[in-house]
């Protein structure tokens, strides 16, 4: 068993609380935006437009992450509605960030007339990198409770301020997910620019992340929603199926040949006259 004796809170100023969760979430966002800009330059996309897409995606991701979490713990927030806005204390759902961030990013990319498939492809490794860094905060604060374990690499949260179950040896489920995120990140970097259709890296990200999250969630004590599955697992199943269908469709669909543009009348070649 590995004891984790770290205060989940770094400092507090009045009603504002800075936690390790909030710090690593912020660092994950910064790293994700930086990587998106680096990858965008490789594909010749304008930096200002990608920066705007990234910032709006972060906003959409934060809103989505909080909404998914609030729905998942609705009983608590019905009794404590003010705490819905205490996002710096923790309590976000990764799937909400993914859904909210992608939808917002696609809308902004279309408004700026960017190639949406390429934009979402370069955003995918940036997203999973941000997720991996953010999970470091979850490892420290113990917010995501997991089932008991007697494995030598199980953990026990022992700090008085921990959000985990004090002294109980449990699976480090969020740590397992961090490792899975890093593996998916490496896969996406290898595939980026090497798949036949734009958009395929995004769907690979959704499918591969969802696959890992589905199985890891069995080790967590999240609320069971239906069929013995947690909210994240139901979303994961949808993600896996959608990704499989999308990848097959993208890989097999025919690309229509562009039609030649009509030549203006004054530039048309006149027929030769044979004398």
CA pair distance 26, 53, nearest whole angstrom = 17
Angstrom distance (rounded) from CA 17 to CA 20: 10
**Interval 202-208 mean pLDDT:** 95
61: in domain: yes
The pTM of this model reads: 0.82
How many whole angstroms separate alpha carbon 103 and alpha carbon 120? Answer: 10
Q: What residues make up the domain containing 23?
A: 2-252
- Residues 32, 58: Cα–Cα separation, whole Å: 10
Cβ neighbour number for residue 79 with a 10 Å cutoff: 8
Report which of residues 18 and 233 the model is more confident about.
233
Does residue 170 sit within a domain?
Answer: yes
Q: What is the pLDDT of residues 101-136, one digit of tens each?
A: 889 999 999 999 999 999 999 999 999 999 999 899
Residue 266 lies in a domain: no
Which of 68-72, 123-127, 146-150, 163-167 has the least mean pLDDT? 68-72
Quote the CA–CA distance of 206 and 151 in Å, as a whole number. 30
pLDDT interval class at 263 (50, 70, 90): very low
Q: Are 183 and 163 in contact (CB under 8 A)?
A: no
Q: Is residue 267 part of a domain?
A: no
- Mean pLDDT, the chain, whole residue set: 84
Please state, for a pLDDT cut of 90, what percent of the chain lies above it. 41
- Number of domains present in the structure of the chain: 1
CA–CA separation, 67 vs 84, rounded Å?
A: 9
CB 200 within 8 A of CB 252: no
Q: Is the pLDDT of residue 258 over 80?
A: no
213 pLDDT exceeds 80? yes
**Domain-embedded: residue 270:** no
Instruction: Provide the CA 203 distance to its chain's centre, in angstroms.
Output: 12
Average the pLDDT over 67-82 and give the result: 72
Per-residue exposure over 91-106, b if at least 16 CB sit within 10 Å of its own CB, e if not? bbbbbbbbbbbbebbb
Q: Tell me: the pLDDT tens digits for 191-200? A: 998 999 999 9
CA–CA distance, 270 with 178 (Å, rounded to integer): 67
Q: What pLDDT does residue 273 have?
A: 47
* pLDDT recorded at residue 145: 84
In angstroms, the CA 174 to CA 216 distance is 8
Q: Is 87 left (phi over 0), alpha (psi -120 to 50) or beta?
A: alpha
The conformational region for residue 258 under phi > 0 = left, psi -120 to 50 = alpha, else beta, is beta
pLDDT at 248 over 90: yes
- Taking CA atoms, 181 is separated from 70, 224, 266, in Å, by 24, 24, 59
pLDDT at 267: 46
pLDDT (0 to 100) of residue 275: 46
- pLDDT over 80 at 87, yes or no: no
Residue 54 lies in a domain: yes
Question: If pLDDT is split at 50, 70 and 90, which confidence band does 208 have?
Answer: very high
Q: How confident is the model at residue 58 (pLDDT cuts 50, 70, 90)?
A: confident
The size of the chain, in residues, is 275
Reading the block at residue 150, the tokens are 């007697």
Residue 146, SS3? strand
Q: Is the dihedral of CA 30, 33, 35, 38 positive or negative?
A: negative
Look at residue 177 in the predicted model and tell me its pLDDT: 94
CA dihedral 88, 92, 98, 102 (to 10 degrees): -50
Report phi then psi at 110, rounded to 5.
Answer: -65, -40
Within a domain: residue 268?
Answer: no
Is residue 67 in some structural domain?
A: yes
**Higher confidence at residue 77 or residue 20?**
20
On the question of pLDDT at 82 being above 80, the answer is no
Q: Which residue has the tokens 């934060």?
A: 62
């Amino acid at each position: 068993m590995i004891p984790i004796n770290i205060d989940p809170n770094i400092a507090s100023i009045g009603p504002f609380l800075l936690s390790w969760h909030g710090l690593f979430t912020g660092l994950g966002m910064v790293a994700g935006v930086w990587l998106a800009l680096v990858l965008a330059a490789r594909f010749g996309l304008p930096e200002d437009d990608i920066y705007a897409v990234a910032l709006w995606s972060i906003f959409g991701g934060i809103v989505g992450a909080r909404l998914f979490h609030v729905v998942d713990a609705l009983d608590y927030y019905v009794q404590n509605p003010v705490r819905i806005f205490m996002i710096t204390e923790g309590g976000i759902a990764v799937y909400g960030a993914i859904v909210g961030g992608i939808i917002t990013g696609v809308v902004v990319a279309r408004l700026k007339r960017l190639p949406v498939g390429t934009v979402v492809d370069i955003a995918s490794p940036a997203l999973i990198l941000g997720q991996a860094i953010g999970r470091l905060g979850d490892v420290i604060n113990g917010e995501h409770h997991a089932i008991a374990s007697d494995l030598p690499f199980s953990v026990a949260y022992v700090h008085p301020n921990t959000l985990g179950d004090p002294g109980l040896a449990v699976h480090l489920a969020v740590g397992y997910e961090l490792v899975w995120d890093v593996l998916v990140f490496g896969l996406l970097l290898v595939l980026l620019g090497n798949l036949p259709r734009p958009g395929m890296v995004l769907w690979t990200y959704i499918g591969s992340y969802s696959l890992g999250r589905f199985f890891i969630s069995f080790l967590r004590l999240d609320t069971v929603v239906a069929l013995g599955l947690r909210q994240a697992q139901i979303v994961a199943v949808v993600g896996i199926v959608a990704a499989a269908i999308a990848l097959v469709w993208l890989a097999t669909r025919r690309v229509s040949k562009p039609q030649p543009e009509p030549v203006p009348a004054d530039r048309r070649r006149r027929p030769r006259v044979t004398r």
